[in-house]
Structure 1
Amino acid sequence: MGKGKKEKNLVTPAIQNTDEQLENVTAKWLKVLDCIVFGVTLAILIGGVWAGYEHVYRRLDWFDTDDSRHLWMLFDKKRFQEIKDFMAEDPDRATLRSGDGRGPMWWAYETCDEELVSWLEERYGLDPKTSDTDAKGLRPQDLCKRGLKKPRWRDSSQAAEVYNVLQGDANQIRQYFIANPSALQVRSEDGRGPLWWAWEQCKTHPELLTLLHSLGADVATTEQDAKGFAPSVLCPSKIRKQMLASLSRK
């Protein structure tokens, strides 16, 4: 009897020791868990504060200026050469942001002009796949749903030059096209070129068509501009028929 009681007394302290060990381990893990929770909470708070700071900081640099308004207008009208010239005057214009948080790369994507986007990347190092967003949370690439495409025609200094030449006298026009025969094929952003501009003046300067015809231009071409108009359509029907009949005999 005495021996059994003694063994029972030996077991009880062992159980107590095990319970204490479990309590100690549990307490340690609870402390570790508390530290983890505290760390995660602190990280979230710091991240939130930083994100808020960054958001506010970035927006402090977003405002409309004469530069941003003018540059947006150039992009909107796809005046590629003027965009190049304007940005070359001050390279910092490549990173400006307007009041809505948009800048050159957003405006380039709005045109869906592949060459314009590539030019900004190559010339100014702008990232076409940036994760930066505007005030509405939109990235530049979000603004071109149909995908980037190479433009069929492009405004150029030569197109502007040809247009101005056609405002001069017949002799100057003839000499210009003799010296620059490829200029007869020049097309501007709207798809128009010398023949369209000549037909536009069929009432006031019909001699332009006669001159271009003598230089080998097809005045009766059915080729279309960006709006689907052939050159001769720009001239009133009655005058157009008379001009085509007259030129066909020459």
Structure 2
Amino acid sequence: MGRIHLKTPQEIEWIRESGRIAAQTLLMLEKAIEPGITTIEIDRMGEAFIKKHGGKPSFKGYHGFPSSVCCSINEQVVHGIPNARKLNEGDIITLDVGVFKNGFHGDSAITVAVGNISSDVQQLMKVTKEALYLGIRYAQVGGRLGDIGYAIESLAAQHGYGVVREYTGHGVGRELHEDPHVMHYGKANSGLRLKAGMVFTIEPMITMGSHEVEVRKDGWTAVTKDKSWCAQFEHTIVLTPSGPDILTMP
């Protein structure tokens, strides 16, 4: 664990501005999702929207990632690369967006239903979103990092779901990924003591089956090994003495 930079009030406002653009981008894209749209169209719309609002896409070119919006469909967990694939009725797609503005990043993700989806998949999405907000609730000054992961994992386990372990939440600031690593599983009352001014993402990836994942030949797209579907919701938050404050609100 490297040094964690506690953010100043001004830095927090800059992150909030980037986070707001990320959230607005996701809202715009969510409305555009329908059967027949391709992920490359989604990516182009997202990039244009971010630039129009004075930001830069955080992901494009990051360690060589080719796109502005990660588009992960069904059994794809994270880092899906946009292409000519069309979305079908009944699919789900996770849209992950990062925005860089004023020297700081904001990072957020949502899973969106394409047309009508099965009740099983609706339940997966609902529980994953609940898990995010439960994790946020446990992000309290004086608490511990493990409390967040324990809360998320416990909720997922109640529904027989898996929690992906290879990909974690992370600090956000001048860099897209900073310390600390925020696990979405773990032991209560373990890990780093939480302090005011910490800024990080919570972004549980929850599967309908096993938590095990593998990366496809493109070197980016992670999928569940058992091909079970996966949902993800993500916010960037800052810890304050009066509780966690979500920085990725539209």
Q: TM-score w.r.t. structure 1 length?
A: 0.25
Higher share of residues assigned strand: 2
Instruction: Name the structure, 1 or 2, with higher relative contact order (CA <8 Å, separation 6+).
Output: 2
Q: TM-score w.r.t. structure 2 length?
A: 0.25
